[in-house]
Structure 1
Amino acid sequence: MIATPDPFTRLRTAVACLLLVGTLAGCGGGAKPAAKDAPRQTVSVDQVALRNIGGGTAAAGRLVALEEVAVATDVSGYRVARVLVEEGARVPAGAPLAILDDSLLRSQIAQLEAQLVQQQVAAEQAAEQARRVDGLDSSGVLSSEAIAQRRFAARSTAASVNSTRAQLNDALVRRSHLVIRAPYAGTVIERTVRPGETASAGTAMFRMARDRLVEAYAEVPEAMAARLAVGDPASVKLASGRLLDGRVRLIGQRVDQTTGVVIARVALPIDPELRVGGFADVIFGGARTAPAVPDKAVRYDADGAFLMLVDARHRVHRVAVETGDRAGGYVELRKGPPVGSTVAVKGAAFTLDGDQVAIAQRSR
């Protein structure tokens, strides 16, 4: 038989249990302390500011004449007697370039001159005979038929004189065209004729560059052409490595459907080193001022380029941007935050949109 504890014993056991629980709670350290805030990411910052951007965009090109003309003869069948110039010759307007043999034409001109003299004498004689019958139409001295015959003879011989004179003038004009002359002042850039050849009308003998003016011809992508304007500065790097300063003279209005390029021409100063047909690198654009940030501040992902903008409460915000040219460690912002905005540079890669950051120092 189990004995039942008395009430006093039960009270004493309950008190002991309470004391044991309090002791164990005291050994456990009591309530847990509040958790500390996570450390902020430290970033360096810089500002969107106007900076000098080189802006140079290069394109392969070649040197061409500003205005080029093919010099040809307009007479055929005459032998080339002499060639007076070579490639590279600088000639004034009207200078003789080549001379065709005029021996056959000289004999023809002599024959026509002699024929003209004879016809002029005959015309004078016929005119005199016609003059003598003036007023005799009704006198009965000569028949009407004889009078009319003298008058017709005078008119016929006069017409023969005019015809021969026209033939002589044509021969003289052709003789003047046997001297091939420069249509304007310039430089001979090609000679295709040789002495002894037979000239053919319309066949080019020489090619000339007008006024010694040579320019650079380049083909640029459509996107680049959209940023160019007539008068923009450009530099042309010759094969020797020398740079010449020029200006954009012309921008094509048609995009090639096959290559997607647009032509651009750059006017250059007169220089003896410029040779038509030579290759050159054309660098469009010069130093200019544009909003820019350090290139390390720009980040990229699948959505494109962006910056981490820092507000007054030191919170960062993602801002999409469109970049342009680069120079001196800075990148141009064509689209993005305004000038004066603060952006995170170093450490920005470890931040997310909305994070609060600690500012270390301004980026240099």
Structure 2
Amino acid sequence: MVALDFTFSLFIMTRRFVSTLAVGAAAFLGACSKEAPVQRVVDPARVVSVTHVARVAFGNTTTASGLLVAREEAAVGVEQAGVRVLRVFVEEGARVKAGQPLAVLDDTLLHERLIQAQAQADNAKSEADRVEGLDGTGVMSDEDIGKRRSQARVAQAQLRELEAQVGQMIVRAPVSGMVIERTARPGSLSGGEPMFRVARDNLFELEAELPEASILRIAERQPVKVTLADGKELDGVVRLIGPRIDPQTKLGRVRVSLPADRVLRVGGFARATFMGRSVPVAVVPEKAVQFEASGPLVTVIGADSRARRIPVKTGERSGGLVELVEGPPVGTQVALAGGAFLLDGDQVKTEIAESSATLTGTPEK
């Protein structure tokens, strides 16, 4: 019981001490508020380096990669299937002339048929010659006379067909150029697939794939600098712009004509730089563009010195500058690297960055 009374007394004393301390603190704060009012602390405006959206002459160059292909490819084969190949005269990479023999097929069976057809044609011709001049004489009916003449014509046509087939037993190049593929082998049988493929006139092209936006900036006969896998450079020209954009990849195809050169190989890799005309475009330094999940953006500093983040669409890059395909107009003040730490509505102090002097021309208002 004594212990309980002591504990209760200690609790009462503690409550009174705390109450006294609270009253004293309140009085002290009240006195201080009368003598020295509390001043609100205001953060100073952030100093930000800025530049302007400027209009400069941008070398409108576009790069793309692709594979080397034959400008025009001639497929060489025979109509007769199942004929055995006796000899092959050329290898892949050989340069051939139009009409040059490429391979010889076995014509043994055809020769036997040709001999028979020749005999039948000679016999039919003799029969037709015998009725010559007998029309309307009554010696032979007109029907029999016409039948013999018809048989002679059919026999002659069959003979010519076999002669043509025998001539096809020598496989010849239909055009001059380079043999880029050979599937014919001695002992193999002819079929539906071509035996040879020839790049006509030894002409090769680069077939490059480009995004739709880049293709719109390319024109036929536009000069192209083509770099091969070994670093060698060739001067090419845009010959053909494909009319179709792949719905899956959103890429289109462009054919670039190349000068004849022995180092060119079908299927080889090359990179093309399309040399366009210099055109004035809106640009900002690359440091002014920030990239977020929603896409690229710039931080614009308005006349009230407040920041505002604006999404943009970028284009070509060159010399530390990036083209603004869509974005603030020329002359707009934008923050540089420090803009990434600003939020919409932030008050700032601006200073012109030295790097902005690299922009060609005077910013337009």
Is TM-score (shorter-chain normalized) higher than 0.5?
A: yes
Aligned to 2:318: 327
Aligned to 2:253: 264
**Deviates further, 43-52 or 280-289:** 280-289
TM-score when normalising by structure 1: 0.69
What is the deviation of 1:74? Answer: 0.5
- d(CA) in 1 for partners of 2:89 and 2:282? 60
Aligned to 1:240: 230
Q: For residues 33-182 of structure 1, what are the structure 2 equivalents within 5 Å?
A: 40-51=45-56, 53=58, 61-127=66-132, 130=134, 134=137, 147-148=139-140, 154-182=145-173
Aligned to 1:226: 213
What is the deviation of 1:269? Answer: 1.0
Say if 2:212 and 2:245, in contact at 8 Å, map to a contact too: no
Paired residue secondary structure (1:227): helix
- d(CA) in 1 for partners of 2:267 and 2:294? 44
Say if 1:55 and 1:286, in contact at 8 Å, map to a contact too: yes
Q: For residues 7-22 of structure 1, what are the structure 2 equivalents within 5 Å?
A: none
- d(CA) in 2 for partners of 1:262 and 1:195? 43
What is the deviation of 1:116? Answer: 3.4
One of 185, 191, 195 as aligned partner of 2:182: 191
- Give the partner amino acid of 1:268: S
One of 183, 192, 199 as aligned partner of 1:209: 199
Structure 1 runs not aligned, ≥5 long: 1-29, 138-146
Render the CA deviation track for 1:96-148: whole Å, top value 9, x for unaligned.
Answer: 322324344345434443443344334333446x47x93xx6xxxxxxxxx44
- d(CA) in 1 for partners of 2:335 and 2:91? 66
Say if 2:61 and 2:273, in contact at 8 Å, map to a contact too: yes
Aligned to 1:20: none
Say if 1:306 and 1:318, in contact at 8 Å, map to a contact too: no
Structure 2 runs not aligned, ≥5 long: 1-34, 358-365
Q: Tell me: CA distance 1:169–1:349, structure 2 relative to 1, closer, same or farther (3 Å).
A: closer
Superposed CA RMSD: 3.8
TM-score when normalising by structure 2: 0.69
Aligned to 1:275: 265
Aligned to 1:3: none
Render the CA deviation track for 1:245-300: whole Å, top value 9, x for unaligned.
Answer: 4437334635354xx34342332313332211223345567675431111222345
Paired residue secondary structure (1:253): strand
Q: Tell me: CA distance 1:294–1:281, structure 2 relative to 1, closer, same or farther (3 Å).
A: same
Render the CA deviation track for 1:48-107: whole Å, top value 9, x for unaligned.
Answer: 223455666655532223333432101245443332332123334444322324344345
Q: Tell me: CA distance 1:38–1:115, structure 2 relative to 1, closer, same or farther (3 Å).
A: closer
Say if 1:41 and 1:347, in contact at 8 Å, map to a contact too: no
Q: Tell me: CA distance 1:75–1:43, structure 2 relative to 1, closer, same or farther (3 Å).
A: same
Q: Tell me: CA distance 1:267–1:155, structure 2 relative to 1, closer, same or farther (3 Å).
A: same
1:291 maps onto 2:291 in alignment: no
- d(CA) in 2 for partners of 1:254 and 1:38? 54
Aligned to 1:12: none
- Give the partner amino acid of 2:256: A
